[in-house]
Amino acid sequence: YGLLERQFAKTYEVAAKRQGVTGEILLQLLEARLDNTVYRMGLAPTRRAARQLVNHKHVEVNGTISGTPSHSLRPGDVITIRDKSKDMVILRDVNPDTRKYPWLEWNPEHQKGVFLQYPERQQIPENIKEQLIVELYSK
């Protein structure tokens, strides 16, 4: 997911405090990050490119400019590309139809996406053994 150790440890702490399976909650929190969601919607070819789009304030969340890649999205949050950024080459060349996930919705006509829900573990395509992460960080 492209996080540094400190960011990852903080995300784990948040997941550990919540009710439920810590490993699954950790993955849900990582998937709900704004930079990851921009990548999953197909607006950027890589997570690093998605992070840069957010850092350079090309993305809005619920109509407000967001420059924080770690911004945690909630179900119902609307992600849009700023009007002045819609003509960027990187955004014109990307095909959002190549990536479809049940927890995300993208409307290409309006350049608008919605974070519908937190994903279930089976829906997340990453090959991660979250139990090993939980064992490491619970010490």
What CATH number is associated with residue 72? 3.10.290.10
Give the helix, strand, coil percentages of the chain, each rounded to 5: 45, 15, 40
pLDDT digits (tens, 9 = 90+) for 12-22: 999 999 999 99
- Other C-beta atoms lying within 10 Å of the C-beta of residue 99: 15
Q: What is the pTM of this model?
A: 0.89
Residue 86 pLDDT > 80: no
User: Which range of residues forms the domain containing residue 9?
Assistant: 5-137
pLDDT at 124: 92
pLDDT for position 100:
83
Average pLDDT score over residue span 96-110 = 82
pLDDT tens by residue, 109-137: 888 999 999 999 999 988 899 999 999 99
Residue 65: per-residue pLDDT: 95
Number of domains comprising the chain: 1
Closest alpha carbon to 15 in 37, 38, 31: 31
Cβ contacts of 70 within 8 Å, gap of 6 or more: 7, 33, 34, 35
